[in-house]
């Protein structure tokens, strides 16, 4: 990790995974899903020009590559409903958190333009809060994974669906690294001040060039969020034994 030695002193608050849940009486009584993704995003600030905002990467409907690769995930369990985020790895694979897809009876996926995407199978990692989901339908766009982890002070953009609602873009910086506070990763994770909320679990964290530098999975009571670094993601994706079928609730 390029930020080795820069320990964050900010990870000591109460840490929670960013899962938005709603208890229900049974699968037949689940509330209707949110309205289709709106035609605009909500930035936390006016972003500086980056590759993700480059007009050459805009689709005909005005969305850039970072927004097109974000996926909203609705986990229908046995008696519970939760929402999370994810991002395309390739045309038929998305990355998210293990806790987003675990204990599901059904996964509902939708893209930035409100299109439903069928989920085929989900697999989860044992050593980090990561999961991959294979899709039946093609995903609109996939990002590039960064070659190395970012350094402390580098800019971070998070693209996801907090509370399972509007596609949101928030900006911040890497403020340090810390030993995984949830003891999932057996190593260091990134700490960023980019705002996230429940439902942001599984969101891609991007660098100034729009490359994925990690996966958001938790936040603490001080408003700092934790990111599985891209080095860990790359290591697990290259290991065919790292993922196993996701546990279901049935």
Q: What is the DSSP string of 198-212?
A: TT-TTPEEE-TTS-E
Nearest to 218 by CA among 168, 184, 248: 184
Residues 86 and 126 in one domain: yes
| Residue-level pLDDT at 32 | 53
| Residue-level pLDDT at 4 | 42
The CATH number covering residue 87 comes to 2.40.10.10
Residue 10 · residue 224 · CB < 8 Å:
yes
15 lies in some domain: no
Q: How many structural domains are present in the chain?
A: 2
Residue 127 · residue 236 · CB < 8 Å:
yes
Residues 114 and 193 in one domain: no
| Residue-level pLDDT at 20 | 57
197 lies in some domain: yes
Residues 103 and 137 in one domain: yes
Nearest-angstrom CA–CA distance, 109 and 69: 12
Residues 93 and 152 in one domain: no
97 lies in some domain: yes
204 lies in some domain: yes
Q: Quick: pLDDT tens for 142-156.
A: 999 999 999 999 999
Nearest-angstrom CA–CA distance, 56 and 106: 37
Residues 90 and 153 in one domain: no
109 lies in some domain: yes
Q: Which residues of the chain have pLDDT under 70?
A: 1-15, 17-63, 250
Residues 75 and 147 in one domain: no
Residue 150 domain boundaries: 143-233
Nearest-angstrom CA–CA distance, 16 and 218: 6
Instruction: Kindly give the pairing relationship between strand 155-160 and strand 131-135.
Output: unpaired
Residues 177 and 207 in one domain: yes
Residues 109 and 126 in one domain: yes
Q: Say how many CA atoms lie within 13 Å of 113 toward its Cβ.
A: 14
């Amino acid at each position: 990790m390029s930020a080795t030695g820069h320990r964050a002193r900010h990870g000591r608050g109460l840490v929670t995974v960013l899962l938005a849940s709603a208890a229900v009486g049974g699968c037949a009584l689940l509330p209707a899903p949110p309205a289709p993704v709106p035609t605009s995003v909500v930035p936390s600030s006016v972003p500086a020009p980056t590759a993700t905002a480059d007009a050459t990467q805009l689709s005909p409907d005005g969305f850039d590559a970072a927004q097109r690769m974000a996926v909203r995930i609705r986990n229908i369990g046995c008696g519970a409903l939760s929402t999370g985020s994810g991002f395309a790895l390739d045309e038929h694979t998305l990355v998210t958190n293990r806790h987003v897809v675990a204990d599901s009876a059904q996964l509902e996926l939708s893209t930035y333009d409100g299109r439903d995407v069928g989920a085929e199978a989900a697999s989860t990692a044992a050593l980090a809060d990561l999961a991959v989901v294979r899709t039946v339908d093609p995903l609109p766009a996939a990002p590039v994974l960064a070659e190395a982890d970012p350094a402390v002070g580098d800019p971070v953009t998070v693209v996801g669906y907090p509370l399972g609602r509007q596609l949101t873009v928030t900006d911040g910086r890497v403020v340090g690294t810390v030993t995984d506070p949830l003891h999932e990763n057996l190593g260091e994770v990134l700490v960023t001040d980019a705002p996230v909320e429940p439902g942001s679990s599984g969101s891609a964290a991007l660098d100034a060039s729009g490359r994925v530098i990690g996966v958001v999975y938790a936040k603490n009571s001080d408003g700092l969020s934790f990111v599985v670094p891209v080095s860990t993601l790359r290591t697990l994706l290259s290991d065919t034994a790292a993922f196993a079928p996701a546990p279901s609730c049935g």
